[in-house]
Amino acid sequence: METAIYVRVSTEEQAQEGFSIRAQEQKLKDYVRIKDWSIYKIYADEGISGKDITGRPAVKDMIADVKAGLVKNVLVFKIDRLTRSTADLIYLVDLFNANDCEFNSLMESIDTQTASGRMFIKIIGIFAEFERENIIERTRVGVERKVKEGYSLCTSSASFGYDRVKGQKMQTVNPAEAEVVRDVFEMFVNNGLTLTDIARRLNLRGILTKKDKTWSSVKVRRVLTNCNYVGDVRHHMSDSKHKQEYDGLHEAIIPQGLFDAAKDILEQNKKVGITKPPNDNKYFAGFLVCAKCGYKMKTYESRKQLKTKIQITVGYVCCNHTLGTCTVGSMSHKKVEAAFEEYISQISDFNDADNPSLAEEKKIKHDNSEAILSLEAKLKGLETREHETLERYVRNEIDFDDYREMKKLVASDKLVLSAELERLSAAPKPTAVKPQEIARNFRENWDKLSNHERRAFLKQFVERIVIESVKPKGEFFGQVKIREVRWRM
């Protein structure tokens, strides 16, 4: 493991025994040898205070190397050699974790491979969480004050219909977008169009959202419920405890009456119910994905009155087709099923020679729980011995050669116990299911399955089906083709 050794002394500590740069380096080098790590580089700051990490060239170099992935472990003699600031320590530990870099301190016996070391990291995490919560609280208070003064937050971008130049506190009306906002309210309140119909019309007109995206019913709803358009400002709308609205300083786009009318219609249209599972005659629901735009297909039903009965046709259509952003049309369930059967038939037959019976592959796992617990207890005892030996070396009760010999004996015993533990704990790996196996199962059983059983079959073996509709030249009806099936292996 590539290890960075960091050492530091301040001016007043230069003469103190055991704190010199050389003494720190030697102890840390010995520790690296014991741990069988490799030294990437030694970073030293001499005559510099540890109150913070600013103005310390060696720390800056080390941080750069950690971010670059060159260092996978940081080793210090004592934590205060790295920093005396709790905030800086939290920052550095977070930085190490984010870059998959471990942190170890010799004198405090902090080793992220030990329980005590991991406990220390958790304690640092608690302080970090406390600091983050303080920041969130201060930010919330600042947000509330700004909104009370009448300014819109516009954290990422202004609402559709407005612009806000960077550095400018108040948003201003965007004339072209404001006209679209008025059209949306007009279509919804006075023309009675649904949210999906409005989104479709905007997409067909080539109008994009503020982030150059196509419109959806959700985005139209956000426009209809945005109090910015009547001159108000708001904050924490997703937090029922803290959300508030205040009079804003910006210009309104629509009158209050029109906004209230839209709000009343949305309230009346609310439907609270349980989402029903798809009918058995739509057993491909949830598995189909449009090959053109990548969105999921949704189900539909069409009813036609015949002389003696009502003919019901079920099928699937791309969600983006209803919004006018995808040209792939609807597909009947029968065509989808035929395409799926054709796709399965093209997968080569499964070779029985490559499929040993499960009985032959199955291994009996003996009950070794007591032996495993015993081995784990012995390993824990060896780790305790290893830790105690290290502490004796740090306190200079034994020299390095004695410590290395004792370390070698413990490591040898740990190796033997670990190998035996691994053998007893080993479990046979499950055999992966091959597409050929699924294809054979499908061909043998599909005709015998009910619609409910077919859906259960798909849920067991299929993750997604990428499907497309191809219309040959000169033909009125399109042909359904399956481009890819992603199996659950």
| 247-278 per-position pLDDT tens digit | 888 889 999 999 999 999 888 877 544 455 55
Answer yes or no: is pLDDT of 401 > 80.
no
Identify whether the C-beta of residue 45 lies closer than 8 Å to the C-beta of residue 58. yes
Residue 183 pLDDT grade (very low, low, confident, very high; cuts 50, 70, 90):
very high
Q: Angle, nearest 10°, between helix axes 400-425 and 369-394?
A: 160
pLDDT of residue 352: 41
Q: How many CB atoms lie within 10 A of CB 328?
A: 20
pLDDT of residue 476: 63
Q: How many CB atoms lie within 10 A of CB 76?
A: 24
Q: Tell me which DSSP letter residue 54 carries.
A: T
Q: Tell me which DSSP letter residue 285 carries.
A: T
pLDDT of residue 63: 92
Side-chain-side CA neighbours of 70 within 13 Å: the count stands at 11
Of the candidates 149, 151, 208, the residue with the CA atom closest to the CA atom of residue 180: 208
| 383-392 per-position pLDDT tens digit | 888 777 777 7
| 25-49 per-position pLDDT tens digit | 888 999 999 888 999 999 998 877 7
For the chain, the average pLDDT equals 78
Answer yes or no: is pLDDT of 410 > 90.
no
Is the domain 2-129 a CATH 3.40.50.1390 member?
yes
- Torsion-angle region of 276 (φ positive above 0: left; ψ -120 to 50: alpha; else: beta): beta
Of the candidates 481, 466, 436, the residue with the CA atom closest to the CA atom of residue 345: 436
pLDDT of residue 223: 93
pLDDT of residue 416: 74
Answer yes or no: is pLDDT of 243 > 80.
no
Answer yes or no: is pLDDT of 435 > 80.
no
Strand extents, DSSP E, 218-327: 232-235, 244-247, 288-290, 297-305, 310-318
Q: Tell me which DSSP letter residue 84 carries.
A: S
Identify whether the C-beta of residue 189 lies closer than 8 Å to the C-beta of residue 181. no
Amino acid found at 254: I
Amino acid found at 462: V
Identify whether the C-beta of residue 180 lies closer than 8 Å to the C-beta of residue 168. no
| 301-333 per-position pLDDT tens digit | 877 777 788 877 888 888 887 777 787 878 888
Q: β-strand 162-163 against 172-173: which pairing, if any?
A: antiparallel
Q: Tell me which DSSP letter residue 241 carries.
A: T
Whole-prediction pTM value?
A: 0.46
| 439-482 per-position pLDDT tens digit | 677 777 777 888 888 888 888 888 889 998 877 776 666 788 88
Phi, psi of 48 (to 5 degrees): -125, 135
pLDDT of residue 19: 64
Query: For residue 103, what are the β-bridge partners?
Result: 74
| Averaged pLDDT, 145-152 | 75
pLDDT of residue 4: 94
pLDDT of residue 240: 64
Q: Which residues are catalytic?
A: 10
- Torsion-angle region of 45 (φ positive above 0: left; ψ -120 to 50: alpha; else: beta): beta
Which helix (DSSP H) or strand (DSSP E) does residue 39 occupy?
strand 38-46
CATH class, range 162-271 = alpha beta
pLDDT of residue 393: 66
Q: Which residue has the tokens 């003919």?
A: 311
| 116-141 per-position pLDDT tens digit | 766 776 676 566 567 667 766 777 77
Answer yes or no: is pLDDT of 226 > 70.
yes
Spatial neighbors of 138 by CB under 8 A, at least 6 apart, are none
Phi, psi of 88 (to 5 degrees): -65, -40
pLDDT of residue 362: 37
